[in-house]
Structure 1
Amino acid sequence: MRVQTEDWQRFILGVRNYKGKKTLFWNGERLWDEENGGHLIYNWEERQTWQVIMVLPGVEVIPKCTFDKCSNVQKVIMADTVRRIEYHAFMYCDSLAYVRLSTNLEYIERWAFGFCTSLTSIFIPPSCTDIHDYVFYGCYKLIILSVSQTTQLGEYVIGANTALIRASSFPTDGRGNYTNHEDVNTWIKNRLQGDEFALHRACSSFNPLEEVIYNIISRQGVKAFKKPDSVGVTPSQYLSENPFAEIEEQKILKRYILDMMGEIVS
């Protein structure tokens, strides 16, 4: 979901209903008192009413604990000016199911999305060079973690109880942790390599291209959209979950069918 700058600017800063959701339009104002530990501007009760957070253009850093324990937030959309997400920024956002990160994001600090238990997918832009320890730890439903091979992953970025690890073959110790986080990190970044998973890669990539996807479908057939990878995720799922995708599966299928009909007629 791409949101144009002019869309942001139509709104007054602060909290208001937008498309039927209680939405915070946030311009970087301090919401957490790091020195004394406590909420600023909005109290605990108000924070629990938010359903959507829009991070406005101009914000470069989401500081420590800014949206910690906003348990009813379902969606976060960041302007492309955001470069850093700090410690605990979205931790314990229990209802968070959709995150559109900044395309210029560079760094995610420890525990930033820890225990976001409704999050099923996250797509990291290639600009992000460093994801620190435990960033998605406790995100039990997380099955899609799309990340560039050049991104540095810290220790236990995801935990053993994460859906992605449960669907893998990694052994765990008596405490429920996998035994080698470096092996897991390598697997996360490389598991979709090879021609077998070309369509999975194309659909989960940053800014998927219709022509690339169409060429793969032309070679592999339309059934390739429904072929699961090693953890059971199909290219259709990658494409529908990908917040950076501006193309639709149905459009590609329609083009494929029309081209096939043209060949038959001719």
Structure 2
Amino acid sequence: MRVATVDGLVTLFYDGSKDLFNHDLHSKWFVKWNEHGLNEDEWEEWDLSTDCKNYWRERDKHGSRVIFANTVIRIERFAFICCKRLAFIKWSINLEFIGQCALSDCNLSSVFVPPRCREIRDHAFACNCNLKLLNVPQNTNLVEPHWIIRDTVLYSKYELQRADPELDVWLKNINDDDEFALHRVCASFEPTLDMILHTMKEKGGPKAFKVENNIGITPSQYLKENPYATVTEKEIIEKYVLQMMGELQSDQEVL
């Protein structure tokens, strides 16, 4: 694991070699938190050991972005819990497991789970208050999906119920309707220019980028947030227009 400052943001390059969660130091902080009426505004002044304060500074103030090495296959429970500034993640393409509370109480607004991920445990993304975009592969097992997104925008906006038997299906098929094919393409793992161009032609050209799906997300938002997308909307539209011009010129020559 190494830490670097990039564009003024602290980035953690994580290879899975360090145990990020310390149960003892975590518990000691929460004991003091309860003693101070659940008010954490002045926690630096609490009677805590230097090790405990350093541990919480790392979680509370550092690590705005995390880039996982492709050697990482598991993120164990509580690994990044309470990393309140964590807003961006680039996952390992070989990731298979995300543990309980692994990324709860962070600051994520979008999550694109890699296609090899086989299981996500409860509370994995809970309490990410700004989380509104979650893309989960069809073959991923969601353990208690109600709790996975508890206390997020995604959860509260749609008033999801814990007992709803359709929740697992809903999370994986938000864009299942053929009308939203471009949404699926832009949110897919490593979408290609050719794939997007083909779907645009089928769905009405550049205007299709502005069509909101049934949870209010547009293809533009998916493409912008997707950390694996290597093309921009501008590049796509430029290529589309050039192709259309070429087709028009060909048609004119035939006429």
TM-score (norm 1): 0.75
Query: How many angstroms does 1:14 deviate by?
Result: 4.5
Q: 2:74 & 2:206 partners in 1: Cα distance?
A: 39
Instruction: Say yes or no: does 1:105 pair with 2:95.
Output: yes
Local SS of the residue matching 1:95? coil
Which residue of structure 1 aligns with residue 105 of structure 2? 115
Q: 2:195 & 2:184 partners in 1: Cα distance?
A: 10
Instruction: Say yes or no: does 1:251 pair with 2:235.
Output: yes
User: For 1:189-224, what per-residue CA distance to the aligned partner results, in whole angstroms no more than 9, with x for missing partners?
Assistant: 112112111000000011112111101111222111
Amino acid at match of 2:117: C
Cα distance change, pair 45–196 in 1 and its aligned pair in 2 (3 A):
same
Question: What is the RMSD of the two structures over their aligned residues, measured on CA atoms?
Answer: 2.4
Cα distance change, pair 261–183 in 1 and its aligned pair in 2 (3 A):
same
Local SS of the residue matching 1:179? coil
User: For 1:133-180, what per-residue CA distance to the aligned partner results, in whole angstroms no more than 9, with x for missing partners?
Assistant: 111111121111101111000112111x3211233363xxxxxxx232
Q: 1:18 & 1:100 partners in 2: Cα distance?
A: 15
5+ long unaligned stretches in structure 2: 27-49
The structure in which a higher percent of residues are helix is 2
Contact kept, 8 Å, 1:134 with 1:154, in 2: the verdict is: no
5+ long unaligned stretches in structure 1: 1-12, 51-68, 171-177
Query: How many angstroms does 1:43 deviate by?
Result: 4.4
Q: 1:210 & 1:182 partners in 2: Cα distance?
A: 37
Query: How many angstroms does 1:45 deviate by?
Result: 5.4
Identity among equivalent positions (%) equals 38
- The one of 184, 196, 200 aligned to 2:183: 200
Cα distance change, pair 179–245 in 1 and its aligned pair in 2 (3 A):
same
Q: 1:15 & 1:136 partners in 2: Cα distance?
A: 23
Which residue of structure 1 aligns with residue 64 of structure 2? 74
TM-score (norm 2): 0.78
Query: How many angstroms does 1:70 deviate by?
Result: 3.9
Counterparts of 1:141-180 in structure 2, within 5 Å, are 141-155=130-144, 156-159=147-150, 161-168=151-158, 170=160, 178-180=161-163
Which residue of structure 1 aligns with residue 127 of structure 2? 138
Contact kept, 8 Å, 1:119 with 1:141, in 2: the verdict is: yes
Amino acid at match of 2:128: C
Q: 1:205 & 1:243 partners in 2: Cα distance?
A: 11
